[in-house]
Chain A
Amino acid sequence: MITLADLNTPHKITWCPGCGNFGILSAVKGALVELGLEREQIVVVSGIGCHGKISDYVNVNTFHGIHGRVLPIATGIKLANPDLTVVGFSGDADCYDEGWDHFCHALRRNIDVTLIVHNNMILGLTTGQTTATSQTGFKTKSTPFGSISAPLNPIAHALISNGTFVARGFAGDPKHLQNLIMEALKHRGFNYIDVFQPCVTFNYLNTYEWFRQRVYKLEESGHDFTDRQKALEKSFEWGDRIPIGIFYKEERPTYRDNLPHLKGMPLTRMPIQDVDITPLIDSLR
């Protein structure tokens, strides 16, 4: 059994004081400890951006990849070894800008990994530019006159791309977030959590206070997360009241479940020393 201390690394944390990422980090660690997973069993995959540094801060197996490619890397790992618990961390720019195509396809394939998107609606590590979830009119260094595009609605997209676990959390409520992560890790399928993660340095608009005034919990409002239509309606709720919690959840065979010949066996455990290719050779005669 691991403890919280086991998950610490010697690496110095370089997020800004008060960054929403701290809430996510503590929620994740809490969930891993609570679920009693072994460190060797877990793989964290992260992309590029402030969020990506999480690989240096959790002492489990990690793969710190390149911008936008968390999901294909995580997919490869999980398909090769389904015994591993694979958790992807991505940012709004990493997932919804650079890696958008992978997001839709991981959803429809129902790859059995968990994806946590640190959504601060801005690019932090490059010192403040617009992203796919920046609000219209939002002024950043790359949109000095205000963003003139409408923001994406990733929750709605996840729902229409046949997502099987679609949720939203808030880094300002790590306890609630930890529960969401635990629910996600217990669910078989593509488990997606978008997390409001205030950027205290560059996002002057979507602050802790801004979110606190708006967010409310779906589970406290009688939402039925087995109803995709209702979930879709909820996903459009934005403004004075913004829902967090599980929007939708269902059981559907994962990509690997649909490969019966593998019988759940990791590719990594299949012997490769003496593969017999005689039948293949004979078929070419």
Chain B
Amino acid sequence: MKVNDFSFLIGGEAGAGISRSGSLFAKACMRSGLHIFGTNDYQSLIRGGHNFYVVRISDQDIYSQADRVDLLIALNAETALLHKDELVSGGGIIYDKDDVALSPEVLGRQDLKLYPVPMKKIVVDELKEPHNLIMKNTVALGTTIATTDFDLAMLEEILKETFKPEVAESNVRAARLGYDYAKQNFQSDFEYRLVKTEDAGKRRIFLSGNEAVGLGAVKAGCKFFAGYPMTPTTGLLHFMTANERNCNMIAMQPEGEIAAINMVAGASFAGARALTATSGGGFCLMSEGLGMAGMTETPVVIMVGQRPGPSTGLPTYSAQGDLRFVVHASQGEFPRVVIAPGDIEECFYETIRAFNWAEKYQLPVILLTDKYVVESEMSVEPFNVNRVKIERGSMMTGPYKAEQEYGRYENTETGVSPRASPSTEGAIVHANSDEHDEHGYTSEDPNVTTMMMDKRMRKLSTLIKEFEERNVETIKFYGSEEAQATIIAWGSTKGPIREAIKLLGQEGIAVNYLQILYLHPFPKSKVEKALEKAEKTIVVENNKTSQLASLIRDHCLRRVDHKILKYDGRPFNPSYLAEKIKEVLNE
């Protein structure tokens, strides 16, 4: 019997509400005191195709999906046949026997438990909802609860909170019918059980990276959001527009990404905190606006959710191929900050920090995420809303009173000029994308050009100094100092890496992990120091050319020993990664 260590996959056609059902079940488990990680896999289409959602449930802390499936909820025949080999020995399949006739012969496996449920028949004959076949999912969730001997009441509570009363009622009945059917027709012989823990009722939240960025933005006082839909950051657009009214802000969908970045720059110039979000393709379109924000010293925050390219690539999958692109995008040289949150908590806290850096240093900040981190969902402790304070830097709050005329680009020691907004009394603000003098008037003078370039770039040195003085966590280090190898990585590979380290630890192999959270300005000295003691260095990335390794080479003049790269659009699975690390260690 395995209690509270369970992974299930629910799959079916697109449009069947797969991830919704997966997360409903996940929430029920979370409220029972369990930790959850859910991730989806879907194609760029609306109906048909194959979608699935994998949920891992545990009473221990977990950081990623598992790489095994204990129970397969097959909402169509294809799901059963596609995923049967991922099932562990003793695993089960819940399926509709009117869809597909499964048998050990058909499956080529003798070691699986089969739970045929007439889901469609139940929806049509008993629920009398022939036009609402999406209810099949809820029937299947009821069956899942029965086979794992879990508490149906918890799911019922979630259904009631999620849906309108009449819809909730049908769903509760559907779950009950699925549950009863299983209790009446199947033996209670499934090896995996879910049990409420003593953490039940503890205040945890279940959310995606997109939602965490959205929450962070609202907390940071973001008042203007403009974003054009693009997977995988559309979820952030939806979060912001859904909360436009209750959070007293403007969240809008403009005519495209070029409009989005320019609107955001305009709103920020006026004095509001502003955010946009896109993926690589949209970011290409934003590049010119990014440079304008750099030149005009207008604070903007851009969330870039990576997906595999080039071009349209694999629109609904994940990748880390845009690191060097965002670090260098747009013509000319200007200061910027690039932060890559590796998990949902970092999505929240780093978003608030992003707004602070943007305003304090009057520059663009890019939050570099990917599909895997922004669309996966996780249960976490509620965020500490007081951890990151709002800092607006040199922004003026009262009237400008100095005798001399206000100069938007006053040349200061730190490179940061006092920031007035157009409504600041006594100050006239000239922002200019042409090279300009301290007052913002266009200038092509060679001395002015040199002075202003130096001034802008000096902001980065000041920023680095602040990072050092305040000990800002630009990198994070996991594991003991003594290790056979050090993994170096950035972004969403964090979860699978931490899981792989656990797996290796169980085999007595010690590996530690350096996460580079700030990619630009590159935390050179911290990385150098962390790597001093490294026995062997292994870069792990979801791209083809190992862009982090090249950044390390650029900044630290150091080659990494090994690279583990995966660029098929899918995240690393922990045991796959552990195996790859072992191969490297054995070389």
Q: A40-B425, A84-B422, A273-B390 are in contact. Are A267 and B267 (CB under 8 A)?
A: yes
CB distance from B93 to the nearest CB of A (A): 31
| In the complex, chain A residues whose CB is within 8 Å of the CB of B270 | 43, 76-77, 80-81, 84, 266-268
| In the complex, chain A residues whose CB is within 8 Å of the CB of B431 | 62-64
Question: Which residue from A79, A83, A105, A279 sits with its C-beta under 8 Å from B224?
Answer: A79
**A272 lies within 8 A of B382 (CB):** no
Question: Which residue from B223, B254, B432 sits with its C-beta under 8 Å from A272?
Answer: B223
**A77 lies within 8 A of B254 (CB):** no
**A79 lies within 8 A of B267 (CB):** yes
User: For residues 182 through 219 of chain B, which have their beta carbon under 8 Å from a beta carbon of chain A?
Assistant: 203-207, 211, 215, 218-219
- Please measure, in the bound complex, the distance between the C-alpha atom of A220 and the C-alpha atom of B249, giving whole angstroms: 45
- Please measure, in the bound complex, the distance between the C-alpha atom of A102 and the C-alpha atom of B226, giving whole angstroms: 14
CB distance from A281 to the nearest CB of B (A): 5
Q: A61-B428, A262-B248 are in contact. Are A76 and B269 (CB under 8 A)?
A: yes
**A66 lies within 8 A of B248 (CB):** no
Asked if B503 is an interface residue, CB under 8 A from chain A, the answer is no
**A72 lies within 8 A of B262 (CB):** yes
CB distance from A47 to the nearest CB of B (A): 10
Number of interface residues of B (CB under 8 A): 67
Asked if B272 is an interface residue, CB under 8 A from chain A, the answer is yes
Question: Which residue from B245, B269, B272 sits with its C-beta under 8 Å from A267?
Answer: B272
Number of interface residues of A (CB under 8 A): 55
Asked if B394 is an interface residue, CB under 8 A from chain A, the answer is no
Cβ contacts B247-264/A at 8 Å (1 or 0 each): 111100011101110111
**A272 lies within 8 A of B215 (CB):** no
Q: Which residue of A lies closest to B392 (CB)?
A: A272
Q: A40-B423, A55-B430, A84-B423 are in contact. Are A273 and B221 (CB under 8 A)?
A: yes
| In the complex, chain B residues whose CB is within 8 Å of the CB of A268 | 223, 270-272, 421, 423
Cβ contacts A258-284/B at 8 Å (1 or 0 each): 010110001110111101011111001
Asked if B434 is an interface residue, CB under 8 A from chain A, the answer is yes
Cβ contacts A27-46/B at 8 Å (1 or 0 each): 00000000000011101010
Asked if A121 is an interface residue, CB under 8 A from chain B, the answer is no
Asked if A65 is an interface residue, CB under 8 A from chain B, the answer is yes
Question: Which residue from A76, A278, A284 sits with its C-beta under 8 Å from B264?
Answer: A76
| In the complex, chain A residues whose CB is within 8 Å of the CB of B245 | 261
Q: A63-B431, A64-B433, A261-B245 are in contact. Are A75 and B221 (CB under 8 A)?
A: no
Asked if A10 is an interface residue, CB under 8 A from chain B, the answer is yes
Asked if A73 is an interface residue, CB under 8 A from chain B, the answer is yes
**B273 lies within 8 A of A281 (CB):** no
Asked if A182 is an interface residue, CB under 8 A from chain B, the answer is no
- Please measure, in the bound complex, the distance between the C-alpha atom of A64 and the C-alpha atom of B435, giving whole angstroms: 11
CB distance from A78 to the nearest CB of B (A): 8
Which 8 A-B residue pairs are closest in the complex by CB-CB distance?
Answer: A76-B266, A272-B221, A72-B262, A268-B271, A80-B270, A76-B263, A76-B267, A267-B223
Q: Which residues of A pack against B, CB within 8 Å?
A: 9-11, 39-41, 43, 45, 53, 55-56, 59-66, 69, 71-81, 83-84, 101-102, 104-105, 259, 261-262, 266-268, 270-273, 275, 277-281, 284-285
